Structure 1
Amino acid sequence: MNIFNVTDGAEQATSLPATGFLGAIVGGVLAGVIAHWLAVRKVPSWLRGLMPVLVIPLVASVVAGLLMILVLGKPINWLMTNLTDGLNSLSGSNAILLGVILGLMMAFDMGGPLNKVAYSFAAVGVGSASLASDAPELKIMASVMLAGMVPPIAMALATVLRPRLFTEAERENGKAGWLLGASFISEGAIPFAAADPLRVIPSIMLGSAVTGGLSQALDVTVRAPHGGIFVLFAVGNVLGFLISLAAGTVVGALAVLVAKTFFGATPAAAAGEADTDPAIPLTSPETARSRRATASA
């Protein structure tokens, strides 16, 4: 009973457009740009002390929030809705194709907008999945998790198979990639992608696509939204899980090696390889003559 005769605001409230991870990224970048612009403005001396603790955060938050609500919210909501609807339309008879597309999205930017769209699509499905062990939502989560594990592990394997194609720093990152990938931390492959994006990103996308499609074909399911190999207790068809992961890892690693071998290694890797080439001893006459020529020049 409403003794104060107050109209329930929930009935008249205007719903704001849901922008998801993409909206959060855009809003955060927008607020940062506004804050930076305010920080470099010249202000009176009496206002300088208030700028970093009051003015900049308040103005940046309000302006960015209003822009998101009034200008950018609906376009981003439209984009997110269409992406989600497109992924939903691929489930069922096109499950393998859906797994391939989710794999491509997971490996494309490794923690970026496309990666987060694919992950949120799967994670939301896990929360609403039925109790059936073969629910489609659980298969989607398996494809996303496995595809996200592939990039770091594939790069780690590549550094072991052909270490001379990578710099010393990349080989060290490869050692960490085993655990990062096994933990479903796709960002473990970012150092490799940043150093050589044209060869690394398409290669790991290929590996993740293979894993995503194969996990759908093998009816692998995962009830946990995160964890990698540490949530095997929540995996349906563990053998299929491991086969899918291994297949995509091998394909991704071989693709990277082929790309670097036949389309040229990175300049840094080539320089590191030349410096440590065992075919030319550091004390050889050729090395000595080269050093004297360099010194005289």
Structure 2
Amino acid sequence: MSDIVAVIRSGDRATHGVLAREALNKAAAEAGRRIHVELQTPEGVSDPLDAAALAAAQRVLVVGEGAADPRLAGRDCLNVTLSQVLDDPAGVLARLAAPAAAPAAVPAKGLKIVAITSCPTGIAHTFMAAEGLQEGAKALGAEIRVETQGSVGSEDTLTEAEIAAADLVVIAADRQVELGRFAGKKLFQSQTKPAINDGAGLIRKALAEAKVLSSTETAPAEPGKPAAADAGAGIALGGAGVYKHLMTGVSFMLPFVVAGGILIAIAFALGGIYVYKDEFQGTLGWTLFQIGKTGAFSLMVPALAGYIAFSIADRPGIAPGMAGGVLAGTIGAGFIGGILAGFIAGYSVLWLNRAIKLPKTLQGLKPVLILPLLGVSITGLLMFYVIGKPTAELLNALTAWLQGMKGAQAAVLGLILGGMMAVDMGGPINKAAYAFGTTLLAANVTEPMAAVMCAGMTPPLALAIATKIFAARFTPEEREAGNAAFVLGLSFVTEGAIPFAARDPFRVIPSLIAGSAVAGAICMTLGVQLNVPHGGIFVLPIPNAVGNLPGFVIAMLVGTAVSVAALGVVKRRIAVAGKPAAQTA
């Protein structure tokens, strides 16, 4: 058996290229094979392949994107992405050993693609994924139109004509997206991360795996898998994952939390902390408090539950989910009961929709009568007789525990939440910490939200400052990006740190985790409170939006300083032409 020959083209992801080389070397050793890996980075070529090795290879593994290599002209090559190698190097080598597959029926060049990108908060990942897809399509010679479903709604909305003319639909989203308008089209779903990291690779995967979406089955497939093409997909169509369903609910809940929290803070500023009492009735402060508390805040849990159910069962799940959310508030089960109600309603309606078969003449009764009636009944009965009382007791215990946390206990929780915010900067771990903070606002527990926002602001701020203080340790592009990172950090957009972490993850990410963890711990220890779930520095001047504002500022400054110091210690100087790089730790 001939040796394995691979070419890794890392582009600006040099660290990922090195990791991919090591992963391939290890996988080849475990398989008892010899491997020759050429690594191409912006700094040059490591371990270049000689002509003899190339000539002896039956098939060449090409990793990453890059210009055409004349040495490989006419050769049988397996093209994969860096992410695919890092995720499953043994699987990639197994594919290399298998016979070459037939070329895709639809070539990428000239392909017409429409896409939607969306993330739970609709701020950073939504637009980064759109940019990744646009760059990937350009590299492959395809046409693409991307609709972004962000925090202010849909932008660049796809027209019916564009959808009709499209050869492929790509959905890169971390929350539920309405698919009804794509019925009859080849469709592929993914999370936003693959689109951000390798848009061209995601498009190639979509070309190979996309399936036609049936007009009767428009619920989402599991992210990273093609949409279901037939009704036999059954209950699996709702199995996009607990995390994605929860994040969909949180994303729809956030506007109620933001609006309600700010209005309540303004009401306190106008009329004092007792503005809600009857003696102030009719005043502007009392009225704003009622709008924020009785209006916006009262819809938080129903929105959370309703859109969790929507993510699972599509539109038929909304009414049962919202009804369950209202009942959760009525019986004292709070946000925990709302989350449970959303999942109960969603999966109940999804099952009913699959199980109930009606003649075509009666199909119209399902979405307007049968599913809402049965869904609301099942959810309501379970909430009253099974879920309600134990969930209410659990919520009361959790609330009492969190409100009673002092000293070391509070510091540990802040340390954990803060560290989570910097681990993947907008990814699943970050969003899990954020969801924990936002849902606790519904139970009037505001300290974790303060720790989460403060810790989420420090990574971009630290990198922005580090690019100025330790300029020699960053590339010109990174120093320029530092200006934008500073603004993003002030705005509580943690994703501003991603470009820096992608270039040097083993040094940057631990440094950022250290600072964010310290910021979170200080916030919790000092009892800092935050009544709104977003806004960064721009909500700090609002009276009563932040409890213990000096403590918040101290935590943010200290956390940022810790990350800056860590970056100064671990980052190496960038090599200048004609001069070796300093070998700092």
TM-score strictly above 0.5: yes
1:72 deviation in Å?
5.6
Q: What letter is aligned with 2:500?
A: F
Change (3 A) 1:62 1:40: closer
Change (3 A) 1:31 1:182: same
- Per the alignment, residue 259 of structure 1 pairs with 570
- Per the alignment, residue 104 of structure 1 pairs with 419
Q: What letter is aligned with 1:107?
A: A
Match of 1:116 among 427, 431, 436: 431
Structure 1 contact 25–113 (Cα < 8 Å) conserved: no
Secondary structure of 2:534's aligned partner: coil
Unaligned runs of at least 5 residues, structure 1 = 1-20, 44-50, 130-136, 278-297
- Per the alignment, residue 470 of structure 2 pairs with 162
Match of 1:31 among 175, 189, 195: 189
- Measure, in 2, the Cα distance between the counterparts of 1:141 and 1:41: 40
- Per the alignment, residue 281 of structure 1 pairs with none
Structure 2 contact 455–520 (Cα < 8 Å) conserved: yes
- Per the alignment, residue 63 of structure 2 pairs with none
Measured on the aligned residues, the alpha-carbon RMSD in Å equals 4.0
Please identify, of 141-150 and 120-129, the stretch whose mean Cα deviation from structure 2 is larger. Answer: 120-129
- Per the alignment, residue 456 of structure 2 pairs with 148
Change (3 A) 1:149 1:68: farther
Match of 1:243 among 554, 562, 574: 554
Secondary structure of 1:224's aligned partner: coil
- Measure, in 1, the Cα distance between the counterparts of 2:235 and 2:175: 13
Secondary structure of 1:40's aligned partner: helix
1:215 deviation in Å?
0.7
What aligned pairs does 1:26-175 form with structure 2 within 5 A after superposition? 31-32=189-190, 39-40=207-208, 60-62=226-228, 66-67=235-236, 69=238, 91=402, 92-93=405-406, 94-129=409-444, 137-175=445-483
- Per the alignment, residue 525 of structure 2 pairs with 217
Structure 2 contact 454–519 (Cα < 8 Å) conserved: yes
Secondary structure of 2:489's aligned partner: helix
Change (3 A) 1:40 1:212: same
Structure 2 contact 459–512 (Cα < 8 Å) conserved: yes
- Measure, in 1, the Cα distance between the counterparts of 2:512 and 2:189: 33
Q: How many residue pairs get matched?
A: 226
- Measure, in 2, the Cα distance between the counterparts of 1:207 and 1:259: 14
Match of 1:203 among 498, 501, 511: 511
Q: Which has the higher strand share?
A: 2
Q: What letter is aligned with 1:229?
A: I
- Per the alignment, residue 574 of structure 2 pairs with 270
Change (3 A) 1:56 1:150: same
Q: Deviations over 1:173-220 (max 9, x none)?
A: 111111100100000000110000000000000000000000111111
- Measure, in 2, the Cα distance between the counterparts of 1:71 and 1:97: 32
Unaligned runs of at least 5 residues, structure 2 = 1-119, 121-172, 178-187, 192-201, 247-338, 340-393, 580-585
Change (3 A) 1:71 1:107: closer
Secondary structure of 2:446's aligned partner: helix
- Measure, in 2, the Cα distance between the counterparts of 1:177 and 1:42: 36
- Per the alignment, residue 194 of structure 1 pairs with 502
Secondary structure of 1:110's aligned partner: coil
Structure 2 contact 217–228 (Cα < 8 Å) conserved: no
Q: What letter is aligned with 1:203?
A: S
- Measure, in 1, the Cα distance between the counterparts of 2:532 and 2:210: 51
- Measure, in 1, the Cα distance between the counterparts of 2:513 and 2:486: 18
1:176 aligns with 2:484: yes
Identical aligned residues as a percent: 41
- Measure, in 2, the Cα distance between the counterparts of 1:53 and 1:169: 46
Q: What letter is aligned with 1:208?
A: S
Q: Deviations over 1:113-157 (max 9, x none)?
A: 00000000101111331xxxxxxx211100000000000000011
Change (3 A) 1:183 1:276: farther
1:32 deviation in Å?
3.3
Change (3 A) 1:57 1:218: same
Please identify, of 33-42 and 199-208, the stretch whose mean Cα deviation from structure 2 is larger. Answer: 33-42
Q: Deviations over 1:11-44 (max 9, x none)?
A: xxxxxxxxxx7xx84989x83399976733799x
Change (3 A) 1:37 1:247: closer
Secondary structure of 2:570's aligned partner: helix
